Amino acid sequence: MQLELGNILVKDVQFGDKTEFKNGIVYVNGEELLDNIKDDRLAKMEVHIVHPGDDVRICPVKDVLEPRVKVEGGGQVFPGIFGNAEMVGSGKTNVLKGMTVLTVGKIVGFQEGIIDMSGPGAEYTPFSQTINLVILCDKVEGLPQHEHEEAVRLAGLKATRYIAEIAKNVTPDETFTFETKPLTEQLSQYPDLPKVAYVYMLQTQGLMHDTYLYGLDVKKILPTFLYPTEVMDGAIISGNCVSACDKNATYHHLNNPVIADLFVRHGKDLNFIGVVVTNENVTLLDKERSSNFTAKLVDSLKVDGVIISEEGFGNPDADLIMNCKKIEALGIKTVLVTDEYAGRDGASQSLADANPLANAVVSGGNANAIIELPSMSKVIGYIEASKIIAGGFDGALKEDGSITVEIQAITGATNELGFNRMGALEF
pLDDT (tens digit per residue) in 272-318: 999 999 999 999 999 999 999 999 999 999 999 999 999 999 999 99
By the 10 Å C-beta count (0-12 exposed, 13-18 middle, 19+ buried), 185 is classed as exposed
Share of the chain above pLDDT 90, in %: 85
Task: Please say whether the dihedral angle defined by the alpha carbons of residues 254, 407, 361 and 241, taken in this order, is positive or negative.
Answer: negative
Which residue is catalytic, options 59, 137, 241, 245? 241
In 38-123, alpha helices (H): none
Q: Give the pLDDT score at 223.
A: 97
How many domains does the chain fold into?
Answer: 1
**Among 2, 4, 22, 3, CA closest to 13:** 22
Residue 115 domain flag: yes
Tell me the residue range of the domain where 155 lies.
2-409
pTM of the entire predicted model: 0.95
Residue 101 domain flag: yes
Is the pLDDT confidence value at 203 over 80? yes
End-to-end CA, the chain? 43
Give catalytic status of residue 324 as yes or no.
no
Q: Give the pLDDT score at 110.
A: 67
Cα–Cα distance, 201 to 327 (Å, whole number)? 14
Count the helices and strands in the chain (H runs, E runs). 8, 24
Residue 426 domain flag: no
Would you tell me the crossing angle of helices 315-328 and 284-300 to the nearest 10 degrees? 30
Cα–Cα distance, 253 to 184 (Å, whole number)? 26
* Cβ pair 77, 236 in contact under 8 A: no
pLDDT (tens digit per residue) in 303-360: 999 999 999 999 999 999 999 999 999 999 999 999 999 999 888 888 889 999 999 9
Cα–Cα distance, 4 to 2 (Å, whole number)? 7
* Cβ pair 108, 148 in contact under 8 A: no
Residue 421 domain flag: no
Cα–Cα distance, 359 to 356 (Å, whole number)? 6
Q: Give the pLDDT score at 109.
A: 65
pLDDT-derived band of residue 385, with 50, 70 and 90 as boundaries?
confident
Exposure on the CB side of residue 293, measured as CA atoms within 13 A: 16
Residue 419 domain flag: no
Is the pLDDT confidence value at 206 over 90? no
Cα–Cα distance, 104 to 44 (Å, whole number)? 12
Residue 178 domain flag: yes
* Cβ pair 3, 77 in contact under 8 A: no
Bridge partners of 398, per DSSP, are: none
Would you tell me the crossing angle of helices 145-164 and 30-37 to the nearest 10 degrees? 130
Mean pLDDT, residues 102-125 taken together: 90
Q: Give kind and range of the element (H or E) at residue 403.
A: strand 403-406
Residue 275 domain flag: yes
Residue 418 domain flag: no
